[in-house]
């Protein structure tokens, strides 16, 4: 098992896009800490993929919206893997309801994870990340596709998009880039949940390439922003196969 020269933290790294990102960063030579909410078995499986790629990996349970838990996670990563160079905040939750039917307890849940969680992790990264590093948040292409029932989810991601260019300017003097990736419909458990095949096919047809994205498609974009893509800064990168 080799020793990478850079260390990344990937929240939401136990499944879906986060898991693909962790594996891709490991393949690019970065040690990766997987932060997960509840699924230890899947997080350990992600660590197995990281190690199979020749990097070092650890799994840590933390609530991304809890400031102390996030600080403790950073402490552990620094102790076991070294100073942090990259934060990828892929942790997120989704609830689909028309605005007129919106369950406000679900809205509170979305805001806590998607907005507060982004701020808490970004705040800790802004204090600790090494020069030459990168902070990568997650938005969604639904902020432009305007699909019915996605109002609450898209609104929380709109907050992420507002934060990114401001934090990029704040981090410029530290030589740390800040961007967001906005996936289109992507073949993950989160996407498939509660959808009929007819609905899935219709949404896949939104892409100019006439298919759903894969977690690996998104991971490639994240790896570029986390590595060589240093002149891209303060941007929201829409990775959606030309969906419109």
> What is the set of active-site residues?
153
Residue 204 CA neighbour count, 13 Å, CB half: 15
Mark residue 56 as left, alpha or beta (left: phi above 0; alpha: psi -120 to 50; beta: remaining): beta
DSSP classification of residue 115: I
Which residues fall within 8 angstroms of residue 123, CB to CB, at 6 or more apart?
Answer: 67
Q: Could you report how far apart the first and last alpha carbons of the chain are, in Å?
A: 43
* Ranges assigned E (strand) in 62-161: 86-89, 134-138
Give the Cβ contact number of residue 147 at 10 Å: 16
Which residues have C-beta within 8 Å of that of residue 166, sequence separation ≥ 6?
Answer: none
d(CA 125, CA 9): 10
Whose tokens are 């893509």? That residue is: 229
């Amino acid at each position: 098992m080799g020793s990478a020269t850079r260390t990344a933290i990937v929240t939401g790294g136990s499944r879906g896009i986060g898991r693909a990102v962790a594996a891709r960063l490991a393949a690019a030579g970065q040690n990766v800490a997987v932060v997960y909410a509840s699924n230890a078995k899947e997080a350990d499986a992600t660590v197995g993929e990281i190690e199979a790629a020749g990097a070092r990996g650890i799994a840590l349970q933390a609530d991304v919206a809890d400031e102390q838990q996030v600080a403790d996670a950073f402490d552990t990563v620094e102790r076991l893997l070294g100073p942090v160079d990259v934060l990828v905040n892929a942790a997120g939750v989704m609830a689909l309801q028309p605005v007129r039917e919106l369950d406000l307890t679900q809205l509170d849940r979305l805001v806590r994870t998607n907005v507060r969680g982004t701020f808490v992790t970004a705040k800790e990264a802004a204090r600790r990340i090494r020069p030459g590093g990168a902070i990568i948040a997650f938005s969604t292409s639904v902020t432009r596709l305007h699909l019915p029932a996605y109002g609450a989810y898209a609104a929380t991601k709109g907050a992420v998009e507002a934060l990114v260019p401001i934090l990029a300017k704040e981090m410029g003097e530290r030589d740390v880039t800040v961007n967001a990736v906005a996936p289109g419909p992507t073949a993950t458990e989160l996407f498939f949940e509660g959808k009929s095949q007819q609905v899935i096919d219709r949404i896949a047809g939104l892409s100019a390439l006439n298919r759903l994205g894969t977690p690996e498609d998104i991971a490639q974009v994240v790896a570029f922003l986390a590595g060589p893509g240093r002149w891209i800064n303060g941007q929201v990168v829409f990775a959606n196969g030309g969906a419109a």
